[in-house]
């Protein structure tokens, strides 16, 4: 049964004028009833939108968050499954990452919880053992769930974990700055994430440029255990980007 509920919109971060609560397949079948198929966006709108996106989010940066994302996309296989946490890095990655197959970019929409990228990647690797699985996290989000690496090690999951190390809750820091608020509780310590990876029995690599990241990603794909790649970036990396 389909229940079209009038839920007050202000309860949600992403607003909708109408909510449909029910099983997906019968809901879609009911909505599609009597609607003949027709070509959508037949005027090349999709290609134009993709081109505009590519112009707005260039991939040529030498380094910084955009450089990390662009290099990872260029090096990893097209059928890679990527997961991404919440924060400034996610907003940028969501615009820059190209998925060549369905369901190849997993993230927490709506609730946008920090800490989800690591367990999402673990689940993806369990479900698709032959796929290359890469997880992208901010340093704060990764710290929240770093203990999960114990389970990653026990399950012998050769997942690649990329951490954007900027010693900052960058998304919140940027919002504070843009609103001329004082910088409050958004800067934190600079930690050795590669060492955290090694402490749990995986590989750990610290990278500071595209060549080092490329080498680390190539090695991680050959490794029989997980790899934590600590990508050191500047705090201002997201300014004028997201």
State the residues that interact with ligand TPP by CB under 6 A. Answer: 85-89, 112-114, 138-141, 164, 166, 168-172
130, burial (CB in 10 Å: exposed 0-12, middle 13-18, buried 19+): exposed
**Nearest-CB residue for ligand TPP:** 138
Q: Where are the alpha helices (DSSP H) in 106-225?
A: 117-127, 139-144, 148-154, 170-178, 193-199, 210-222
Sign of CA dihedral 124, 125, 131, 134: positive
187, burial (CB in 10 Å: exposed 0-12, middle 13-18, buried 19+): middle
Choose from Mg ion, ligand TPP, none: what does 64 bind? Cβ within 5-8 Å by kind: none
Choose from Mg ion, ligand TPP, none: what does 141 bind? Cβ within 5-8 Å by kind: ligand TPP
Residue 76 vs 139, nearer CB to ligand TPP: 139
> Which DSSP string do the residues of 143-158 spell out, in sequence order?
HHTTTHHHHHHHTT--
Minimum Å gap between C-beta 75 and ligand TPP is 21
CA distance 26 to 23: 6
H or E stretch covering 229: strand 227-232
Choose from ligand TPP, Mg ion, none: what does 88 bind? Cβ within 5-8 Å by kind: ligand TPP
Minimum Å gap between C-beta 116 and ligand TPP is 9
CA distance 202 to 159: 10
Residue 191 vs 214, nearer CB to Mg ion: 191
Minimum Å gap between C-beta 117 and Mg ion is 13
Residue 168 vs 227, nearer CB to ligand TPP: 168
Residue 70 vs 158, nearer CB to ligand TPP: 70
Total of residues contacting Mg ion (CB under 5 A): 5
Bridge pairing between strands 203-207 and 105-107: unpaired
Minimum Å gap between C-beta 5 and ligand TPP is 26
Residue 168 vs 227, nearer CB to Mg ion: 168
**Nearest-CB residue for Mg ion:** 138
CA distance 170 to 177: 10
Interface contacts to Mg ion, rule CB under 5 A: 138-139, 166, 168, 170
């Amino acid at each position: 049964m389909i229940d079209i509920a009038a839920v007050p919109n202000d309860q949600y971060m992403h607003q909708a004028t109408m909510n449909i609560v029910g099983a997906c397949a019968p809901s879609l079948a009911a909505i599609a009833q009597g609607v003949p198929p027709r070509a959508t966006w037949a005027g090349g709108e999709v290609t134009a939108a993709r081109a505009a996106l590519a112009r707005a989010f260039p991939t040529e940066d030498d380094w910084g968050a955009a450089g990390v994302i662009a290099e990872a996309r260029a090096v990893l296989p097209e059928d890679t499954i990527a997961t991404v946490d919440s924060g400034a890095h996610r907003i940028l990655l969501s615009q820059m990452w190209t998925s060549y197959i369905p369901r190849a970019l997993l993230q927490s929409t709506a609730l946008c919880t920090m800490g989800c990228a690591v367990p999402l990647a673990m689940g993806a690797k369990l479900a698709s053992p032959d796929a290359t699985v890469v997880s992208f996290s901010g340093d704060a989000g990764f710290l929240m769930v770093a203990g999960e690496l114990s389970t990653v090690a026990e399950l012998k999951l050769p997942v690649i974990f990329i951490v954007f190390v900027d010693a900052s809750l960058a998304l919140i820091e940027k919002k504070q700055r843009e609103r001329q608020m004082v910088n409050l509780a958004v800067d934190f310590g600079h930690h050795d994430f590669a060492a955290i990876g090694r402490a749990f029995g995986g590989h750990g690599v610290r990278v500071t440029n595209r060549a080092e990241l490329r080498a680390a990603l190539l090695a991680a794909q050959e490794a029989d255990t997980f790899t934590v790649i600590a990508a050191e970036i500047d705090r201002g990396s997201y300014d004028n980007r997201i």
